[in-house]
A and B are shown apart, each in its own frame.
Chain A
């Protein structure tokens, strides 16, 4: 087993740069998720790794072996295509055996049977792809790639076409299979929850570049860029200026309020910074007196409220007009203010973080509720 290494990988379509000097190492045997919005270059990256797209620049290595110039059929890499691309003229067993046959493996029947069992399709070997449900087709596509025991398995949004229940079940199955066979999985998705539940390592991609790479918890708890902060979950990002870099803390000023963040949670190099805090790390209090000592706070008015079962989502308008998103888990305790009520929003400075901000850029808070309704300004 060897690592998959992408070095300076670039793909241009005419003037347009789809993948921009990507440097990436996927450790052997890991479950790696490539996460990003539509059109950010995920599929293009996978296609280059599979050999289906020729890179404009850069190299692809498997361990020490440069595979950049190899044709797709020469690479020990297999793909589970977004569209499945099952061969309609072959039955399920024929589809799964395709790669083994082409490599001249004898005795493929036993391998195929074992693989169909692994993806829980035993007994369906004689069916044509058109006679299968979407989830079954997806598992055939998976089996067809996995049976070859490639060094790297590329999965391009294989769960995209499935309904929520089936998606959840397939996520669990995929993870189980990956653990069982120990093959490197590179899983492309735009579903952040899917990436976080399944992967050992998540890379967040944006506009052809990797914005941040790390364990899911690292990315979520301490994002590198405003993009990551708002793509992986949501964040309240307040435009702030660094006013003091003290011992163990960094102090900022935002809208004439002074806030602080532990020095270890500051990524801002210059004075312009975003003060970030996740909606679920923000609490609501009835009055300033109830804010715990040491917490930072903002007073505001509840402009929107929605009940989502596991909790309540609020939008609280700060005095300067920005709306802060707040998520209060439905624990049955705590303060659930009415719409239009005056509240104090507060958080533990240890949960906040500081990111670099383009000078002049305003707040970058994504509203939790799509359409703020309720109290007029």
Chain B
């Protein structure tokens, strides 16, 4: 009697987690797993098919080689731009997150709202605003020319600088918020203990603050890097053909050239590249718990 009474709640408790993840699993199955399989299949269709004639499944693994051969510069450029943007976001976001989390006192919430304030307008509008700011006839270019920091015929818009700037601006909040979350949990008494144990402020940062905020650094860099690699709006609006990223190529393959097998193959290559990079990075950063 007592045995069954005790066993029943235990079994229910063991079932609860599965019940709780069921809706999420269903969602993922319908909106992630099925499309990914479909995309994988598309990437292996006969490249000679067309939307109007339909595609035949010919297991054309050659699609991948063709795509890579044609677009490896855009691949590399995407990784480079996204890497640069992530590094700049980290450099800008870490001090910002530290001050908000540890020093801001009653201004904390206001500052956090300011960090996410750009999200109140659309991604597209924000990027278009940068286009105006960086325009050849804009005040910024004019000012830099007057200060001789920019050649008389120099441009800000349509340069790699503009694209990376746009990425930094658009993804900075994704860096700041996870950093803030981990720095806000940092116990100030540990910093005092480090100082008491002969660590200068710089060494306290190196040996206590930074290691303890690593989960935030990893989460922030992933949340910045992954969407930045695949981004195409910044390159499209602020750059030129010479700065186009892999996202632009996929975009035009799907929507302009209507070359679905190649577009799918490029998407898969991008996914694989990100997966490999992220795995290596997280291993190196020593925060395996995230995987």
Contacts and interface: CB of A to CB of B under 8 A. Distances in A.
A73 B208 contact: no
Most buried by A among B190, B197, B199: B197
Given A85-B187, A88-B212, A89-B211, A71 B192 contact: no
B278 to A, nearest CB: 22
A85 B189 contact: yes
A73 B199 contact: yes
Most chain-B CB neighbours within 10 Å: which of A52, A72, A103? A72
Nearest to B190: A85
Contacts of A78: 196-197
Contact of B196 (A72, A89, A103): A72
A77 B198 CA distance: 9
Contact of B197 (A51, A71, A89, A102): A102
B209 to A, nearest CB: 11
B240 interface: no
Interface string B183-212: 000010110111111111001000110011
A98 interface: yes
Contact of B198 (A81, A87, A99): A99
Interface in A88-110: 88-89, 98-99, 102-103
A50 interface: yes
Interface residues of A, number: 23
A87 B187 CA distance: 10
Interface in B209-256: 211-212
A103 B196 CA distance: 12
User: Of B187, B193, B194, B199, which is in contact with the most chain A CB atoms at under 10 Å from its CB?
Assistant: B193
Contact of B195 (A72, A87, A103, A145): A72
Contact of B192 (A85, A86, A102): A85
A358 to B, nearest CB: 40
A27 to B, nearest CB: 23
A79 interface: yes
14 contacts: A71-B200, A72-B196, A73-B195, A73-B199, A73-B200, A78-B197, A79-B196, A81-B193, A85-B189, A88-B212, A102-B207, A103-B198, A145-B197, A148-B197
Interface of B: 187, 189-190, 192-200, 203, 207-208, 211-212
